[in-house]
A and B are shown apart, each in its own frame.
Chain A
Amino acid sequence: MRRSLRAVLLGVLGVALVAALWDLYKAFGPEDGVLVGERTLVLPRATDLAMPHTWEMVQRLFEPATGLPGAPTALGAVVDAAGFTLGIAARGWLVGVTVGLLLALLMTRFKTAESGLLPWVVLSQTVPLIAIAPLVRRWGAQVEIGSFSWENEHSVALIAAYLAFFPVSIGALRGLKSPARTHLELMHAYGVGWWRTLLTLRLPASVPFLLPALRLAAASAVIGSVVAEVSIGLRGGIGRMVVEYAQSAGGDPAKAWAPIFGAVAVGLVAAGAVGLLTLALKPFRLTETS
């Protein structure tokens, strides 16, 4: 218990430190930033426009989002949007993790599959997100199975999955191949089949590699969701909110930061959820280092 209290305290201290640094820079930093040459800004401007006070940003959260009567507070709007994005990211993560694990299994089982698939897996991540987002949306628009019709949010979840599957497939592949040759040979000598070896040796051994991969996948899924929301023009989530609130960056500089806090919160919750999952897999964590 004392250790977790310490962790909480350290966490709070960390946030306070960032806030303090921000306002210290704002107070003492050069108003016009520091320029190298004529155009390269190496230190940011400290104006109210570029860096609102931290307390203004927090205060803004509790003011109405828009001037409309009955408008929710900025915080309320951000929480709604964050929940929406988190839901999409969670779906993307689940699909991505499933696909990643299946690919890793396939590549472990068949050498040919590994040499055939691995380059494509790596290549898949070099395709820019903004290039595939409109394509996915367009393909999705043509999908209609029975009463199920493809919505834009499915496209966003798919893109999140597209980013999330990569670390999982690579991590799981390394993990599944990590048992020492002597262990594998022992299994072989016992006459144990591939599936049994997988369950008793390879899967447990893969956990230390898998856990950081799952965390990476969670981060990727969140980023994928936010960026794809912007790309595709899906309303309701944090991504769209960032673009919409940016419009008031001039007149209401603190407001533009609200959805950014929302994005941070989504990332933290996603990482936290995966952290809980790691607890369940704790018995297998023999050598995890991260």
Chain B
Amino acid sequence: MRRTRWNAPGLKIGIAALTLALTATACGGDDGDADADAGDSGSGSGDLTPVSLQLQWVAQAQFAGYYAAVEQGFYEDEGLDVTIAEGGPDIVPQDVLAAGDVDYAISWVPKVLGSIEQGAGITDVAQIFERSATTQISFKDKGITSPADLKGKNVGSWGFGNEWELFAGMQDAGVGLKDIELVQQAFDMNAFLAGDIDAAQAMTYNEYAQVLETVNPDTGELYQPDDLNVIDWNDVGTAMLQDAIWASSDRLSDEAYAEQTVAFIKASIKGWAFVRDDPQAGADAVTAAGSQLGTSHQLWMTNEINKLIWPSTDGVGMIDEAAWDQTVDIALNTENETGATIITEPPPESAYTNEYVEQALEELRDEGVDVDGADFSPIEVTLNEGGN
């Protein structure tokens, strides 16, 4: 050891560095707290029941009804203090619910069916989306207008349970997975725009709009719906049920939770009715909750989501047996690239019930809330470049 004495200037700088690190830490803490507070919804009044809802993705208009219900105080009216937990790529809402970390979760039916077969005790208590938003889009010049045309093409899919309607549609048309080149799709549509993917998976409310927000280099204008062919799985007949409210099966036998479930569904549907009647306010509620999506994109999404819900055949949230059976049938009989199906045997009785949504709808109808939206008509949304 030649010289182990601490030299003064070095020490000072070191201490400065340490202070800096600690300050950063402290700042981070403050920011985080502020963020957590923002996530809470008016927890002022003491007699509200705290309820948490797990979304399956980040805040966006896909969940506008719930955000609107928080903002408009619909949950509070029902005695609930609802906290919305956003999702992420690795968050599986049904697992979070099954683990007992939240009271309710939003997820797609086919994704949950697999979890139920693996032992998750959860129940679809309200089927909010009646229609599927998943499509397979392609540029007109590729000539892909039906699932049969996918043969020999580069077909994009996100995987992770988003692929089943596509696979079922192909299977019905006699196109095997060996007949196509399955391409893993990213969060953006660049692979599609660059031509790496001939037919890309696109939600009507998101990726489809992303393409329409992009300038077509040939015309110098935004891409138009006329430039695209859309395979809509609702039309093909392989649509599966998407966003539903899931509750814990075990806890439903507890009266307080059952009552709370009715109240939660009721206020949520009220939120969706609000979004139907004022899409702009619905979009603003989501943006206010911290969504980073552009303004026109957010409104587009709100409008497209409305189309998935309204008009409602039996009242929002009612689970149509035929649609449920179609979803289960596809889940049982469609094989993915490894030859696996979502489920190997039909789901248990407890997988869905209309008991709670019926009560909620009855109360809403008594209050004069339009839960059918029979005369619903979507608005016209003009997308701007980049969705801004």
Question: Could you list which residues of chain A lie within 8 angstroms of chain B, going by C-beta atoms?
Answer: 39, 45, 47-50, 65-68, 77, 83-84, 86-88, 90-91, 93-94, 130, 133-134, 137-138, 141-142, 151, 153, 200-201, 204, 230-236, 240-241, 243-252, 255-256, 273-274, 276-277, 279-284, 286
Stretch at the interface among B28-36, B337-345, B367-375: B28-36
B1-27 contacts to A (CB < 8 Å) = 1-7, 10-11, 13-18, 20-22, 24-27
Can you list 20 A-B contacts with CB-CB less than 8 angstroms, sorted by A residue number? Answer: A67-B388, A77-B292, A84-B28, A87-B24, A94-B25, A137-B91, A231-B90, A232-B90, A236-B31, A243-B187, A247-B187, A248-B294, A256-B188, A276-B16, A276-B17, A279-B17, A280-B13, A281-B10, A284-B4, A286-B2
Q: Are B99 and A138 in contact (CB under 8 A)?
A: yes
Which residue of A has the minimal Cβ distance to B384?
A67
Contacts of B188 in A (CB 8 A): 246-247, 249-250, 256
B50 to chain A, nearest CB (A): 12
Q: Is the interface of A mostly helix, strand, loop or mixed?
A: helix
B303 to chain A, nearest CB (A): 17
B305 to chain A, nearest CB (A): 16
B216-273 contacts to A (CB < 8 Å) = 217, 222
CA distance A243 to B187 in the complex (A): 7
Contacts of B3 in A (CB 8 A): 283
Q: Are B292 and A250 in contact (CB under 8 A)?
A: no
Q: Are B88 and A232 in contact (CB under 8 A)?
A: yes
For A279, give its contact among B14, B59, B86, B213 (CB under 8 Å).
Answer: B14
A249 to chain B, nearest CB (A): 4
7 tightest Cβ-Cβ pairs between the two chains A and B: A87-B28, A280-B14, A233-B88, A252-B386, A276-B17, A251-B213, A67-B388
For A241, give its contact among B92, B206, B292, B386 (CB under 8 Å).
Answer: B292
CA distance A93 to B99 in the complex (A): 30
Q: Are B187 and A87 in contact (CB under 8 A)?
A: no
Q: Are A230 and B88 in contact (CB under 8 A)?
A: yes
Q: Are A93 and B21 in contact (CB under 8 A)?
A: yes
Contacts of B296 in A (CB 8 A): 67
Q: Is there a chain A Cβ closer than 8 Å to B387's Cβ? A: yes
CA distance A235 to B46 in the complex (A): 27
Q: Is there a chain A Cβ closer than 8 Å to B190's Cβ? A: yes
For B90, give its contact among A134, A201, A273 (CB under 8 Å).
Answer: A134
Q: Are B294 and A67 in contact (CB under 8 A)?
A: yes
Interface-centre pick from B87, B189, B217 (highest chain A CB count, 10 A):
B189
CA distance A126 to B7 in the complex (A): 40
Contacts of A83 in B (CB 8 A): 24, 27-28, 31
Interface-centre pick from B95, B188, B210 (highest chain A CB count, 10 A):
B188
CA distance A88 to B4 in the complex (A): 33
Which residue of B has the minimal Cβ distance to A88?
B28
Q: Is there a chain A Cβ closer than 8 Å to B214's Cβ? A: yes
Q: Is there a chain A Cβ closer than 8 Å to B287's Cβ? A: yes
Taking A233-B87, A248-B297 as known contacts, 16 extra A-B pairs with beta carbons closer than 8 A to each other, sorted by chain A number, are A45-B194, A65-B292, A83-B31, A87-B25, A90-B21, A138-B99, A138-B101, A200-B4, A234-B88, A243-B89, A243-B187, A247-B297, A250-B188, A250-B214, A252-B385, A282-B10
Contacts of B143 in A (CB 8 A): none
Given A66-B295, A248-B294, also A201-B1 (CB < 8 A) = yes
CA distance A230 to B211 in the complex (A): 24
B220 to chain A, nearest CB (A): 12
CA distance A56 to B99 in the complex (A): 47
CA distance A94 to B89 in the complex (A): 27
Contacts of A247 in B (CB 8 A): 187-188, 206, 210, 293, 297, 387
Contacts of B385 in A (CB 8 A): 251-252
B355 to chain A, nearest CB (A): 29
CA distance A247 to B211 in the complex (A): 10
Interface-centre pick from A133, A250, A252, A279 (highest chain B CB count, 10 A):
A250
Q: Are A90 and B193 in contact (CB under 8 A)?
A: no
CA distance A142 to B101 in the complex (A): 7
CA distance A77 to B290 in the complex (A): 12
Contacts of B86 in A (CB 8 A): 233, 235
Contacts of B10 in A (CB 8 A): 279-283
Q: Are B214 and A251 in contact (CB under 8 A)?
A: yes
Q: Are A250 and B31 in contact (CB under 8 A)?
A: no
CA distance A274 to B58 in the complex (A): 34
Q: Are B213 and A283 in contact (CB under 8 A)?
A: no
For B292, give its contact among A66, A234, A281, A283 (CB under 8 Å).
Answer: A66
CA distance A250 to B212 in the complex (A): 9
B208 to chain A, nearest CB (A): 11
CA distance A277 to B3 in the complex (A): 18
Given A67-B296, A138-B96, also A204-B101 (CB < 8 A) = no
Q: Are A153 and B190 in contact (CB under 8 A)?
A: no
CA distance A133 to B95 in the complex (A): 14
CA distance A101 to B293 in the complex (A): 43
Contacts of A201 in B (CB 8 A): 1
For B25, give its contact among A47, A91, A233 (CB under 8 Å).
Answer: A91
For B387, give its contact among A48, A236, A248, A284 (CB under 8 Å).
Answer: A248
